[in-house]
Structure 1
Amino acid sequence: MKSSVVVGLGRSGVGAAKLLHSQGHQVTVLESQSKDSANASALRQLGVDVRLGCPLIPDPFASWTDPLDQVVISPGIPWDHPTLGSLRQQDIAVCGEMAVAWDALSHRPWIGITGTNGKTTVTHLLQHVLSHAGLQAPMAGNVGHSAAELALACSSGHLPQPDWIVMEMSSYQIEAAQQVAPRIGIWTTLTPDHLERHGTLDAYRAIKHGLLARSEQAVLNADDPDLCRHHHQWPAATWVSTSPTPPVPCTLWIDPEQWVCSREQRLFPADALPLPGNHNRQNMLLVTAAALHAGLPPSAIEAALRCFSGVPHRLEPLGLVKGMRVYNDSKATNYDAAAVGLRAVAAPAVVLAGGQTKQGDASEWLSLLKERAAAVVLFGHGARELKTLIAGASFDGQVALVDTLDAAVKEALALSSGQPAQALLLSPACASFDQYSNFEERGEHFRQLINAAQRAS
């Protein structure tokens, strides 16, 4: 019997533990928190050994006496953690939950989707397009199921065998699953992100490059400056561009008459996707390229695009408040994503930003604030840091500083009364972990606050 240790009781850890247990492994789960939980109880009922209060520092494996075949880590654990290095020196395999899922599902074709921004929309949209065409195409990874949950559901018969697996993959997940080799790989964008983890942009880029290099067919966004600069590395890739005169030779582009074109023909009008912003046209082209590689005809792709309603928490429209169109863009967890949101909504906007700040280049976001924002309300742990950035950019609108999102919404509605704002935009430019478990929880809270404001008005 193989022996596996899973580190972490989050969603990916629980999924990995259940999958490995179903495969006959002897599974032990280590969790740094001491508080018992429903996840721990559920695993114990299956016969999984759960040990609470076991962080990786000091090394919990130093006095480990049982034979050990592999250690499976959650995405939040750095790949270069000293304890993991010690395990590797002992020839103990270390991998992430995504690798465990790949071992169980590699017999089905994967579409691996990565990128700094855009990957969640591309994942949802591609899953929608494939499913609308009648294919079994579950999505997993950073969205939907965890990868291991999906593998368990497929292997147990709770889900039909997939025609395609649509997998959103972060740099953390790719780094710990270097055997994953998708049938189709999609790279949406590349801008500095997660540098506090990966150290340099080159290291971050190399991780994503590895996934695409292992893919049978690579699909890349020629409108992204960083990807375009490295186009010589991808002579056999499928490139897409929203420009009628693409910067590199492309397979798909949008012509001056606003049609999506391939090398052979016009496919369908570029307004088939009812979402705002040029970034969504890039997403549409990436999805179209992948769907064509998956064997769908253009007519099926167009029909699916026309009935796509968007992704929760990514420029999600929430209706009107005080004459302003409200957008939940909680998924914008860095400056580049927040800049995309600002560019997409009507100006002038009242912007809500804040949370746990990240390293990155804020210059474009700051420039767009000056052009398109009437006021900015900052909240959370990074509010003062953002205020200093905005002051240094000579923003001439109002800037308010509050502690919480509740207070930010109240302040934004008060500020909007004194000026003609067209949009109210939650686009934090920060991670959510200072006050929320994830960006979804932050977005749901914002939705509740807006619903309450709509009822009161």
Structure 2
Amino acid sequence: MIPVVGYAGRTVGVLGLGRSGLSTARALAAGGAVPVCWDDSDEGRARAETEGYAVRDLTRDGAWDDVALLVTSPGIPHLYPAPHPAILGALRAGVPVDNDIGLFFRSVATQEWEQMDVAPRVVAVTGSNGKSTTSALIHHILSEGGRAAQLAGNIGRGVLDIDPPVDGGVVVLELSSYQTDLARALTPDIAVFTNLTPDHLDRHGGMGGYFAAKRRLFAEGGPDRAVVGVDEVEGLYLAGQMAEGRADDRVISVSVTRKIKGPGWSVFARKGLLAEWRKGRQVADVDLRDMPGLPGAHNHQNACAAYAVARAMGLAPKAIAAALQSFAGLPHRSQLVAEIGGVRFVNDSKATNVDAAAQALAAFPRIRWIAGGLGKEGGIAALQGALGSVAKAYLIGHSARDFALQMPGIPVEICETMDVAVARAAAEAEPGDVVLLAPAAASFDQYPNFEKRGEDFVACVARLG
């Protein structure tokens, strides 16, 4: 646990009592603060009371008279489309609002660090797609390289739940836009921006607000080194703002769409071949094409970003390449579930938007595509140019019929449920085909989250025998 510093003897409100909220309450108490907790659900409040924390309705008048700070969970709106009543009350009362990420950055460094030979470092990863895989890949490379690494944030453990970093240790954080948008402290040693595609726009008031939330990690965080995906204009803009000139190697540019050979530091992949360039010359290369845990260009971008971080931390290219080869991938993200009769079954349930689905569709030559769920604004119209490898689509969930209307020229079958879709796709698949779950939709019509949807796909495949 990372005890929260700066609030000993003071009352701190905790809003939202899921995983991060209860973790925050514990870390506050460990640092001597007095948490008062609130959740809109009876279940959440009961969990806090079971652990011995005081429960106070933070939406009522007078709730803030003795409160020094409000810490809110990332899923609770603090600005758009409208702030939660408790957050609005705190703002009106002049009470600062923070989250567990901000508390982590304020509390993780201790006096013990001064006695260490090598001070711990924090790597923070943000972006629209690939954050989880990139974060896990960085953690894997560092661990394989003998570094004491911990993975936390939007993946793995809550940031305040981790162990205090040891001498030379590294904390790898995956940070969503909800987390970077509100954190009052953001001070990573290395910050990573993977890419930017439209998502969560209701929470950020549009694309500009969404990018601004990501940009805070760099503009306010002041990292020693920035690894920036430059395949979108926002990434180019961010890299330009962080660098003092073309040869400034504090910025490492990453691409999977073009070669970058200028005087600075770059890592790019073309047709599965990763190249590292520095000071106008190539210094290393890695063949990504046969790495089972990293299929497709989108995973090659993740590999480039993770490679860049590892190189910035002093690891040798050969050691990084060996770790990339041994990376098994993450559940629900281009996860190879099984191969039956020459047909591969791949679980990419995390592909909840059209951009992530397009990347998954581009990774394989002939696809039996399982898609659908609770569709997002615009449906899958933007996928028209990405369906060339789809032999047939098997549609499930609330948006199945709407999706079918947006795929002219593609054979379609309305299956409604996962078990029917898997069975039908498996029955019609031929050797060399890939049965791919890449829903391009949220899961909440049939499942509580994308993980449960992916687990159902895995279970249905297992029943094929």
TM-score class, shorter: 0.7 to 0.9
Give the 3-state SS of the residue equivalent to 1:333 in structure 2.
coil
Question: Letter of the aligned partner of 1:251 in structure 2?
Answer: S
Q: Does 1:350 align with 2:368?
A: yes
Give the 3-state SS of the residue equivalent to 2:394 in structure 1.
strand
CA drift of 1:13 comes to: 1.0
Q: Which runs of 5+ in 1 are unaligned?
A: none
Q: Does 1:34 align with 2:49?
A: no
Residues 307-340 of structure 1, C-alpha deviation per residue, up to 9 Å, x if partnerless?
1111111110011245421000011111000000
CA drift of 1:247 comes to: 8.7
CA drift of 1:253 comes to: 3.2
Change (3 A) 1:363 1:160: same
Measured in 2, the distance between the counterparts of 1:65 and 1:245 equals 55
Task: Give 2:355's match in structure 1, choosing from 319, 329, 336.
Answer: 336
Task: Give 1:447's match in structure 2, choosing from 426, 451, 458.
Answer: 458
Q: 5 Å matches for 1:236-275?
A: 236=248, 237-242=251-256, 245-246=259-260, 250-254=265-269, 258=273, 260-263=275-278, 264-271=281-288, 273-274=291-292, 275=294
Residue matched to 2:26: 18
Residue matched to 1:172: 178
Task: Give 1:315's match in structure 2, choosing from 312, 334, 344.
Answer: 334
Q: Does 1:71 align with 2:81?
A: no
Measured in 2, the distance between the counterparts of 1:162 and 1:47 equals 36
CA drift of 1:124 comes to: 0.6
Change (3 A) 1:396 1:273: closer
Measured in 1, the distance between the counterparts of 2:452 and 2:197 equals 25
Measured in 2, the distance between the counterparts of 1:280 and 1:257 equals 10
Residue matched to 1:94: 97
Question: Letter of the aligned partner of 2:410 in structure 1?
Answer: D
Greater mean deviation of Cα atoms: 199-208 or 350-359: 350-359
Q: Does 1:197 align with 2:203?
A: yes
Residue matched to 1:128: 140
Q: 5 Å matches for 1:132-151?
A: 132-150=144-162
Change (3 A) 1:297 1:386: same
Residue matched to 1:297: 316
Is residue 241–residue 252 contact of structure 1 (8 Å, CA) maintained in 2?
A: yes
CA drift of 1:233 comes to: 2.6
Give the 3-state SS of the residue equivalent to 2:146 in structure 1.
coil
Q: 5 Å matches for 1:388-403?
A: 388-390=405-407, 394-402=408-416
Q: 5 Å matches for 1:214-229?
A: 214=221, 215-228=223-236
Measured in 2, the distance between the counterparts of 1:75 and 1:162 equals 30
Change (3 A) 1:50 1:292: same
Residue matched to 2:12: 4
CA drift of 1:183 comes to: 0.7
Question: Letter of the aligned partner of 1:353 in structure 2?
Answer: A
Residue matched to 1:283: 302
Change (3 A) 1:49 1:328: same
CA drift of 1:420 comes to: 7.5
Give the 3-state SS of the residue equivalent to 1:261 in structure 2.
strand
Aligned residues: 431
Question: Letter of the aligned partner of 1:2 in structure 2?
Answer: R
Residue matched to 2:3: none
Residue matched to 2:433: 422
Is residue 254–residue 304 contact of structure 2 (8 Å, CA) maintained in 1?
A: yes
Residues 221-257 of structure 1, C-alpha deviation per residue, up to 9 Å, x if partnerless?
1234542366533324211234663397652235899
Change (3 A) 1:45 1:245: closer
Q: Does 1:432 align with 2:451?
A: no
Residue matched to 1:385: 402
Is residue 123–residue 189 contact of structure 2 (8 Å, CA) maintained in 1?
A: yes
Residue matched to 2:420: 407
Is residue 374–residue 421 contact of structure 1 (8 Å, CA) maintained in 2?
A: no
Is residue 79–residue 175 contact of structure 1 (8 Å, CA) maintained in 2?
A: no
Is residue 335–residue 360 contact of structure 1 (8 Å, CA) maintained in 2?
A: no
Greater mean deviation of Cα atoms: 434-443 or 221-230: 221-230
CA drift of 1:364 comes to: 4.6
Change (3 A) 1:396 1:282: closer
Q: Does 1:184 align with 2:184?
A: no
Once superposed, what is the RMSD of the aligned Cα atoms?
2.7
Is residue 390–residue 410 contact of structure 2 (8 Å, CA) maintained in 1?
A: no
Residue matched to 1:47: 52
Task: Give 2:346's match in structure 1, choosing from 300, 307, 327.
Answer: 327
Change (3 A) 1:442 1:257: closer
Give the 3-state SS of the residue equivalent to 1:72 in structure 2.
strand
Change (3 A) 1:378 1:255: closer
Question: Letter of the aligned partner of 2:41 in structure 1?
Answer: Q
Measured in 2, the distance between the counterparts of 1:34 and 1:426 equals 35
Q: Which runs of 5+ in 2 are unaligned?
A: 1-8, 111-119
Change (3 A) 1:407 1:31: farther
Change (3 A) 1:361 1:438: closer
Q: TM-score, normalised by structure 1?
A: 0.86
Measured in 1, the distance between the counterparts of 2:315 and 2:64 equals 53
Task: Give 1:115's match in structure 2, choosing from 82, 106, 127.
Answer: 127
Give the 3-state SS of the residue equivalent to 1:240 in structure 2.
strand
Give the 3-state SS of the residue equivalent to 2:161 in structure 1.
helix
Measured in 2, the distance between the counterparts of 1:277 and 1:353 equals 19
Is residue 393–residue 410 contact of structure 2 (8 Å, CA) maintained in 1?
A: no
Measured in 2, the distance between the counterparts of 1:306 and 1:428 equals 27
Question: Letter of the aligned partner of 2:365 in structure 1?
Answer: A
CA drift of 1:160 comes to: 4.9
Is residue 7–residue 13 contact of structure 1 (8 Å, CA) maintained in 2?
A: yes
Is residue 317–residue 327 contact of structure 1 (8 Å, CA) maintained in 2?
A: yes
Greater mean deviation of Cα atoms: 434-443 or 174-183: 434-443
CA drift of 1:401 comes to: 4.5
Change (3 A) 1:406 1:243: closer
